[in-house]
Structure 1
Amino acid sequence: MRIFHKIFKWLSALAVVGLLALLIASAGIYYYFAPQLPDVETLREVRFQTPLRVYSADRKLIAEFGEKRRTPISYDEIPEDFIHALQAAEDSRFFEHMGIDIKGLFRAAFQLATSGQIQSGGSTITMQVAKNFFLTRERTFSRKFMEILLALRIEQELSKEEILELYINKIYLGHRSYGIQAASTVYYGQPIKDLSLAQLAMIAGLPKAPSAYNPLSNPKRALERRDWILGRMLNLGYIDQTRYQNAITQPVTASYHGSDIELQAPYIAEMVRSELYEQYGDDLYTEGLTVITTIDSRLQESASSALRNGLIAYSERHGYHGPEHQYDTSSMPNEEQLELLDKTATFGGLVPALVTKVGTNTATLLTKEAGDIELSWEGMRWASPYKSVNYAGPEPKKAGDILNVGDLVRIVYTDDAWKLSQIPQVQGAIIALDPNSGGIRALSGGFSFALNKFNRAIQAYRQPGSNIKPFLYTAALEYGFTPASIINDAPVVFHDVSLESNWRPENDNGTFGGPTRLREALYRSRNLVSIRLMRSLGIDKAREFILRFGFSPERLPQNLSLALGSADATPMQVVTGYASFANGGFKIAPYLIDRLESAEGDTLFEAAPLRACPECSYGIAGNSENTGSERPGPVVQQSTTEGAAPRIITPESAFLIYNVMQDVITRGTGRRALELNRSDLAGKTGTTNDQKDAWFSGFNQTLVATAWVGFDQPAPLGRREYGSSAALPIWIDFMRDALKDTPESAPSAPAGVISALIDPATGKLAYPGQSDAIREYFRTDQLPTEHAQSPEEKLAPPTTEQIFGLGG
């Protein structure tokens, strides 16, 4: 007994000495590592790397930029079942311990002593927060000791709720998802709050090994991990037997959900990204910014569809270019053919397909998604062989004239059937603005952003052709001409040193109309009248007036060719100029970003565009200039009303040019738009020399849109391809959807405008009872005072006074 007592005393003494030695060693280690520990307080200000998200005005996701998909949430937003599942999987005593789990640490120490490696870290959630935010992932004793010290400090500085919130937003959970909200979206396509118990347990199993327990790449192991967590939840009393049984029987329902892009508008997304990158640099992709654009999702979908369809229609009008590639598929297994299709991208909705069988009037094609499909004769009979932009070969008689087995072609599903198609070589752009604010409502810069990222809507400088004429005609109205003014549409030859040689301009159809009213000259797009107008105004004066609409001075020639649209302008510049016709004469600036929000939802920027304001007070128009028409020239007028856009056209001229441009649609080159059955539309076609550019710009008071078609390397579009045939159909298709169920909104004549019946041949007041008289609008101070001669007056012999010039 005494021996046992001595042994116990010796062991006790050794234990005390050992404990003292351990305490001294621990203190030494602590004082060695303590200066190296980071400041835990920085966790209160941590900013998670969150991608930039771009939305339409109606909150549809357009794009997400950033390598890490993350949507931070607060502790209050975490479902209780998920907290319990996470505790069961990672740290059941999280809410009780002080940051470290002694039992787990002893287990890790034993593994280190016996194997030389730390195999199971014994880490608590707090220790994982310390590691994830401050430390490397190396498995060494020093790193582990610092992790412990940091965990203790974190527990002193932060609440359990704050620690858990940091953890669930930081952890990587596979497939670029960081944090449980992003993982919930990636794997289940819905927020974490809407997941079932089984789904929550599945996500709770991911932190341990996101690859090994991934429900997409390893569903079997993920299911085992999920069921183990559910069992732990049952044993720990977090769920009862009934909930456990219901959850354990649920199948794996995870499937990959991409970025949940709700609106395909890649040109818009890139415009936003490039604009903000100048300010934020690479931080743009990690700061969690949210951009609300001015884009209307319905209009954007209509614009993209109208442009694609219009370019495909042009391409098919000029013949079939043949297959993109020809393969020998006679010995190629089906799997290899599918792999080939998988490597071929879809552009603009045109699906790649391999021809596997050709019949008399049908063909069988293999697609990746739809498998084997049958192409009917109706779906391919359009495909006469392409020869040039002006000619196509003979019409095909059978499917073999078009297709061969092994052809890689493009098809599109339309009107409940598959149709042969092809990627257009021609390109185009369409833009729609709110003319009263400048907000971009829809924009597409080409057939397919994936095929070519060049944004023709804002980057392509092209000649506008006759699309420039309304600006010149507005200058004429401002400087004293009226819609009834007579200008001679007759041949003319100019010698202009800036043009290097004699210039003999012609009208598009090669004919001449003689004396023509200004209104008729515009809706018939008479080139020679435009040239005479510019010469009458003076080149410099007309050019200065046109520049106020937003064109680039260096791209507007200083010669008479400007009257025919020889300037260079982007579709954005053209549509911005046309907005002034639509809004009553105000200069607006186009803008895309309506609001910019921080990751916390604070507004960092909100657009405050200058708006058209007809009811605002403006200065009196006019200056000392005149043109021979004895009317003072116009000036830009500023309003004293805050937020009001400057007025660049007088109310009278703005109404008159709108009214004149309505005739472009009712009786001129834009008559095709009559199918929209609206009386409030106005616009202008445009076609350049050799038909290299085709335009249509049109509007009502609520929406203005421009469509352009042309080759990226300027080249003729071909016979019968004009603004009215290539661009106008795109504009019509867009406006049909855009203005659906929208009331008509043509302007009313302002107080300074009056109407009168005139003689269409002379522009003078109609004589009493004139049967072919037409109604015309004038400024009140420009109403004609002279009447046209009646037939009787024309036949009457001249009086003595008329012969000799006598009379009072």
Structure 2
Amino acid sequence: MSHLLRTSRLFAWLFLTGLSVAVIVTSGFYLYLRPGLPAVDRLLDIKLQTPLRVYSKDMRLIAEFGEKRRAPITIEQIPTIQLQAFMAAEDSRFYEHFGVDIKGLARAAIELVSTGEIQSGGSTITMQVAKNYFLSRDRTFIRKFNEILLALQIERELDKDRILELYLNKIYLGNRAYGIAAAAQVYYDKPVAQLSLAQMAMLAGLPKAPSAYNPLANPERAMIRRNWILGRMKELGYITPDAYELAVSAPLTATYNSTDTEVDADYVAEMARYEMVQRYGEQAYTDGYTVILTVDSEKQQAATEALRDGLEAYDRRHGFRGPIGQIDPETLAGSDLSEAMRNYPQVESLLPAVVTSVNDKTGEVRVHARTLGQVIMPFETMIWASRYKTEDFTGPEPEKPSDVVAVGDVVYVRAETPTKQETTPETNGEALQEDAEPGEPALVSLAQVPRVEGALISLDAQTGAIQALSGGYSFSQSKYNRAVQAQRQPGSTFKPFLYLSALESGMTPATIYNDAPIVLDDAELQSTWRPQNSSGQFYGPTRLREALYSSRNLVSIRLLRDLGIENTLDYLRQLEIPVDNMPSNLSLALGSGLLSPMELARGMAVIANGGYDVEPYLIETIKNVRGEVIYQAPETVLCDQNCNEIAEKAEANETSPGAKPAERTGNTPQVRVMRRLADERSVYILHSMMRDVIRLGTGRRALALGRDDVAGKTGTTNEQKDTWFAGFNHDIATTAWVGFDQPAPLGRGEFGASTALPVWLDYMEVALEGEPPSFMPRPNGIVNIRINPETGQRARPGEDGMFEIFREEDAPPPLQTEEEIDNNGRAGEDDLSRRIF
């Protein structure tokens, strides 16, 4: 007994000694490492790398920027069974331990002793939170000890639900998906709450090895992992045997789901991205900002499609430029044409395809498109394809398919049948089409990517909010945003500003100018200038109203000469229209200066809203990752009087005057004060004159809208290098431009009415649908007077006359009596001669 007692005492002392040494060593490690450990409360302040998301005004996704896909979610939004799936896979005793699972660590220690390497690590969910948020992924003993110490701290300071929520929002689950919400979207295109039990178990199997157990890359291993987790859930009592059997028999349903944008608005998205980076730097991509723009999704989609359709229509009018490439006969005879086609990119809805057979008898052409397979291109879709020679000439209309294409030609086509689109990582995001009728080839039509470019901008005339914008045919082809970057000659769309200046100078719609030949020797023009009307004809005495709606160039030149070039430039400055690129000669009257489409659209919005300043803006609201509004676009106030006082009050409500707009706060919104820039009566008269452009003049094509509240102006520069249409009602101002990036003639018969106006019209049909008429209210000080259209004077009783509107002080003088006429000696004729300039 004494020997047994001595042995027991020895082992007891050895145990206590070992325990003391362990405590001392552990304490030493703790004292050594503790000063370098981060504070747990930093967890609550850490910003998860969440992408920048850009939405339309009606909350349709326009774009997402950032390397990591993440959508933070609260634990209340996650079904209990999903939480249990993760605990079954990663930490079944999560709600029981204190941050460290002794059994797990013991298992890890045994593996280390037996193999000489760290195998599983024995990490709990809390330890993974510590590692993911604070530590590196190095598999070292020091890192593991830090992980344990941090886990203990985390458990002391945070509750279990908060820890689990942090874990599920941080973990990487493959395919750029960080966090459970992003993974549910990537693999199943669903919110977490709508996943099936089998799908929940599949996601729970990913944290251990996102690549090895990825259902897209390794479906077999992923299914084994999923079913093991379902078995664990049954053992732990989380699910019933029946639920287990149903889930393990479920097929693999995971597919790759990219972030599908809901609005085709790449140029708008880039403008928003650039502005956010200007505000917040590179953190804009990672701090989870949500940006809500002013654009309406329906109007934006209409703008994108209207511009593309208009550019394609112009391009077809000028013929087919031939194939974009050739596939040699040897490759064509091979079994896989997809690889040969990879050098030809898809451009928007236009798909590259190779011609595999041509049948002149049936008019049928077979082509192979990488994303469609073998399809048919009927000759009816190629009739437009006369051979391009120049912008002015094309070859004869084709009579058979071989007049257009040959076997081996690579051309662009557009699918003509409904398709089902699906993307996978294996196809690099390319669309795969399933034919509407199995076994029957789809139909496609011949197309080509336009060389001509364009832009469309639509503004809320009352606020300056951008309602829609498209800066070109394809952002993937060219990032150059013509809507805001291109500087082009506005042509006759400049004339409304000239005529507004004339109206404010005392002239009237009834003022008569002589539309007659003029020869100018101008040093600025460096040669003798003989301007002409676009028709090449001269029309004699012409009222200003008629001169505007008929776009008479010679009247505009004489008008500018009388107003004075410098006075007119000063008036443009008053309207805040840039004049840096405006000439100081009479060609200014014909729009020979340079403006961007946005600058012209803004000027038209000033006219549309009755003469108030307009500042175009795109961002309506910015929210942080917690959904809190950190920026709201200022309220727009149109101001006639006391504008400085209103502006000062708005400034007083900003708590930090030197801050950026996004950082300003206050109890009331900021105010954007828009001052009056033009006399409202003159603007009202100009509205009337510009409505006649559509009713009687060069913009008659816009009558298709069936509205009488729309006004506008066409524009075409010399040699048809730039074509425009700018139109509006009192609420919305829209401008369309069409031309080549490197200015060149668009060809015979191409004017603003034939190129830009159709684009504007297609957009406005959507933008104005269901909207009531919107006219500028008639201001005080306007009079209606019946005039003689030949003289511009008041009509005498019995004369053919028409009503015209005037500012009171500019109205024609009252009729003279017979006695006054006799006394003045044919005063009316003298007055007429004086009024013909």
Sort the TM-score into its range (normalised by shorter chain).
over 0.9
In the aligned structure 2, how far is the partner of 1:328 from the partner of 1:16?
85
In the aligned structure 1, how far is the partner of 2:166 from the partner of 2:605?
50
Contact preservation (8 Å) 1:50, 1:286: yes
Unaligned runs of 5+ in 2: 419-442, 645-669, 829-837
With normalisation by structure 1, the TM-score equals 0.93
Letter in 1 for 2:160: K
Q: CA-to-partner distance for each residue in 1:293-326, whole Å, 9 max, x for gaps? A: 0000000010000000000011110010011101
Residues 674-683 or 445-454, more deviating: 674-683
Match of 1:758 among 760, 778, 787: 787
Letter in 2 for 1:174: G
Contact preservation (8 Å) 2:575, 2:678: no
SS at match of 1:310: helix
Matches within 5 A, 1:173-572: 173-332=173-332, 336-360=336-360, 361-413=363-415, 418-572=444-598
Contact preservation (8 Å) 2:327, 2:340: no
**Residues 679 and 566 of structure 1: CA distance in aligned 2, closer, same or farther (over 3 Å):** same
Contact preservation (8 Å) 1:762, 1:788: no
Letter in 2 for 1:695: W
The residue number in structure 1 matching 2:796 is 767
In the aligned structure 2, how far is the partner of 1:713 from the partner of 1:260?
34
Contact preservation (8 Å) 1:308, 1:348: no
Contact preservation (8 Å) 1:429, 1:456: yes
2:813 is the counterpart of 1:785:
yes
**Residues 677 and 138 of structure 1: CA distance in aligned 2, closer, same or farther (over 3 Å):** same
Contact preservation (8 Å) 1:174, 1:210: yes
In the aligned structure 2, how far is the partner of 1:756 from the partner of 1:225?
88
The residue number in structure 1 matching 2:649 is none
Contact preservation (8 Å) 1:589, 1:609: no
2:720 is the counterpart of 1:694:
no
The residue number in structure 1 matching 2:753 is 724
Contact preservation (8 Å) 1:435, 1:703: yes
In the aligned structure 2, how far is the partner of 1:6 from the partner of 1:801?
147
Matches within 5 A, 1:735-754: 735-754=764-783
**Residues 736 and 110 of structure 1: CA distance in aligned 2, closer, same or farther (over 3 Å):** same
**Residues 315 and 803 of structure 1: CA distance in aligned 2, closer, same or farther (over 3 Å):** closer
The residue number in structure 2 matching 1:626 is none
Letter in 1 for 2:398: P
Contact preservation (8 Å) 1:431, 1:440: yes
**Residues 800 and 289 of structure 1: CA distance in aligned 2, closer, same or farther (over 3 Å):** closer
State the shift of 1:351 in Å: 1.4
In the aligned structure 1, how far is the partner of 2:131 from the partner of 2:24?
26
SS at match of 2:394: coil
Contact preservation (8 Å) 1:319, 1:392: yes
In the aligned structure 1, how far is the partner of 2:23 from the partner of 2:34?
16
Residues 199-208 or 134-143, more deviating: 134-143
Contact preservation (8 Å) 2:720, 2:747: yes
State the shift of 1:14 in Å: 2.1
Residues 214-223 or 421-430, more deviating: 214-223
SS at match of 2:445: strand
Contact preservation (8 Å) 2:206, 2:214: yes
Match of 2:599 among 567, 573, 577: 573
Contact preservation (8 Å) 1:550, 1:576: no
In the aligned structure 1, how far is the partner of 2:449 from the partner of 2:233?
56
Residues 231-240 or 501-510, more deviating: 501-510
Contact preservation (8 Å) 1:524, 1:669: yes
Contact preservation (8 Å) 1:172, 1:210: yes
Contact preservation (8 Å) 1:496, 1:502: yes
Letter in 2 for 1:727: A
State the shift of 1:3 in Å: 4.1
Match of 2:693 among 664, 668, 671: 664
Q: CA-to-partner distance for each residue in 1:99-154, whole Å, 9 max, x for gaps? A: 11111111211222222210111110111111111221111222212211221122
The residue number in structure 1 matching 2:436 is none
Letter in 1 for 2:691: Q
Letter in 1 for 2:109: A
With normalisation by structure 2, the TM-score equals 0.89
In the aligned structure 2, how far is the partner of 1:325 from the partner of 1:693?
31
Residues 469-478 or 731-740, more deviating: 731-740
Letter in 1 for 2:513: I
State the shift of 1:769 in Å: 2.8
Residues 122-131 or 503-512, more deviating: 503-512
Q: Give the number of aligned pairs.
A: 775
In the aligned structure 1, how far is the partner of 2:793 from the partner of 2:470?
46
**Residues 402 and 749 of structure 1: CA distance in aligned 2, closer, same or farther (over 3 Å):** same
Residues 524-533 or 29-38, more deviating: 29-38
Letter in 2 for 1:148: I
State the shift of 1:382 in Å: 0.6
In the aligned structure 2, how far is the partner of 1:531 from the partner of 1:722?
20
In the aligned structure 1, how far is the partner of 2:105 from the partner of 2:295?
56
Contact preservation (8 Å) 1:589, 1:610: no
Contact preservation (8 Å) 1:316, 1:383: yes
Letter in 1 for 2:479: K
Letter in 2 for 1:585: G
The alignment yields a C-alpha RMSD, in angstroms, of 2.2
SS at match of 2:258: coil
Contact preservation (8 Å) 1:550, 1:573: no
SS at match of 1:775: strand
In the aligned structure 1, how far is the partner of 2:469 from the partner of 2:683?
26
**Residues 53 and 326 of structure 1: CA distance in aligned 2, closer, same or farther (over 3 Å):** same
**Residues 415 and 463 of structure 1: CA distance in aligned 2, closer, same or farther (over 3 Å):** farther
State the shift of 1:781 in Å: 2.5
The residue number in structure 1 matching 2:437 is none
Residues 709-718 or 760-769, more deviating: 760-769
State the shift of 1:650 in Å: 1.5
2:633 is the counterpart of 1:607:
yes
State the shift of 1:362 in Å: 2.0
Contact preservation (8 Å) 1:765, 1:787: yes
Letter in 1 for 2:390: S
Letter in 2 for 1:369: T
State the shift of 1:35 in Å: 2.6
Identity, in percent, stands at: 51
Contact preservation (8 Å) 2:643, 2:673: no
Residues 355-364 or 543-552, more deviating: 543-552
**Residues 568 and 788 of structure 1: CA distance in aligned 2, closer, same or farther (over 3 Å):** farther
Q: CA-to-partner distance for each residue in 1:336-365, whole Å, 9 max, x for gaps? A: 312333553221311111111111122111
Letter in 2 for 1:781: E
State the shift of 1:609 in Å: 4.7
Q: CA-to-partner distance for each residue in 1:137-194, whole Å, 9 max, x for gaps? A: 1112222122112211221222112211111111111111111111111111121122
Letter in 2 for 1:492: I
Contact preservation (8 Å) 1:766, 1:788: no
State the shift of 1:334 in Å: 5.7
Contact preservation (8 Å) 1:117, 1:139: no
**Residues 719 and 325 of structure 1: CA distance in aligned 2, closer, same or farther (over 3 Å):** same
State the shift of 1:332 in Å: 3.6
In the aligned structure 2, how far is the partner of 1:381 from the partner of 1:369?
25
Letter in 1 for 2:133: F
The residue number in structure 1 matching 2:648 is none
SS at match of 1:121: coil
Contact preservation (8 Å) 2:572, 2:578: no
Contact preservation (8 Å) 1:588, 1:612: no
Contact preservation (8 Å) 1:205, 1:222: yes
In the aligned structure 2, how far is the partner of 1:351 from the partner of 1:703?
35
